[in-house]
Amino acid sequence: MSKYLYLFRGGDTQRIQQSPEQMQAHMQKWGVWMKGLAEKGTLVDGLPLGKEGKVVTGGKKVVTDGPFAEGKEIVGGYLIVNASSLDNAVEISFGCPIFEHDGQVEVREIMSMNM
């Protein structure tokens, strides 16, 4: 088994148009999905990310405000999962509720570093 990172992007346009009841129902779907992953031993970690942040760039370490919430590429959260292969990790991601809001899941293998 290897560990894979899910980076969640998008879906905000549809989500903000929902009623509070619809938002709550959607969040419950996230809870059910993540609980199922945990019960199977697939879920390692994961949390939503705050909307505000800073970006540090270059050798001079220039600090700017960002990322910006209106950007489609904003990372809204992450999960780390155990999977047998990249294809298996992608298949596991198919159950993610973000797809109901036209969101995106980037799936990347987490490599080990020998220190």
Write down the pTM of the prediction: 0.87
- Give 38-68 pLDDT, tens digit per residue: 999 999 999 999 888 888 999 999 998 877 6
Would you call 21 exposed, middle or buried from its count of C-beta atoms within 10 A (0-12, 13-18, 19+)? exposed
For the segment(s) 2-109, the CATH number from 2.60.40.3710, 3.40.640.10, 3.40.50.450, 3.30.70.1060 is 3.30.70.1060
| 69 or 65, greater pLDDT | 65
> Which residues fall within 8 angstroms of residue 50, CB to CB, at 6 or more apart?
none
Q: Do 65 and 56 form a contact (C-beta atoms < 8 A)?
A: no
Identify the pLDDT of residue 11. 78
In the predicted structure, residue 71 carries a pLDDT above the cut 70: no
pLDDT tens sequence across 5-34: 999 998 777 777 889 899 899 999 999 999
Query: What is the DSSP track for 55-101?
Result: EEETTTTEEEE---TTSTT-EEEEEEEEESSHHHHHHHHTT-GGGGG
**CA–CA dist 101, 96 (Å, integer):** 10
pLDDT at residue 72, rounded to an integer = 64
Segment 75-109, tens digit of pLDDT: 889 999 999 999 999 999 999 999 999 899 999 99
The first and second tokens of residue 17, run together, are: 């148009």
